[in-house]
Amino acid sequence: MAVENKKPDRRVAKTKKAIKKAFIKLLLTKDYGKITVKDVACEADVDRKTVYNYYRGIYEIREEIENESLKSMEKIIAGFDDKDIVRQTWQIFEAITATVNENRDLFDYFFKEDSNTNVYLKVVYDVKKVVSRVLSKTTLSHLPPEKIDLISSFYAAGSMLVYREWFNSYRSTPIESVSEDLGKFVLFGLTPFVK
What is the pLDDT confidence band of residue 86, given thresholds at 50, 70 and 90?
Answer: low
> Would you say 182 and 159 are in contact if contact means Cβ atoms under 8 Å apart?
yes
pLDDT for residue 114: 67
Can you list the domains of the chain with their CATH numbers?
8-55 (1.10.10.60), 67-193 (1.10.357)
Please tell me the distance from the alpha carbon of residue 177 to that of residue 171, in angstroms, as a whole number: 11
Q: DSSP letters of 69-129?
A: HHHHHHHHHHT---S-HHHHHHHHHHHHHHHHHHTHHHHHHHTSTT---SHHHHHHHHHHH
Report the share of the chain in percent with pLDDT over 70: 85
pLDDT, tens digit, 9 for 90 and up, residues 22-75: 998 998 888 888 999 999 999 999 999 999 999 999 999 988 988 887 777 667
Please tell me the distance from the alpha carbon of residue 124 to that of residue 162, in angstroms, as a whole number: 11
pLDDT for residue 82: 59
Report whether pLDDT(1) > 80.
no
Q: Which stretch of DSSP H or E encloses residue 147?
A: helix 145-167
Question: What integer best gives the mean pLDDT of the chain?
Answer: 83
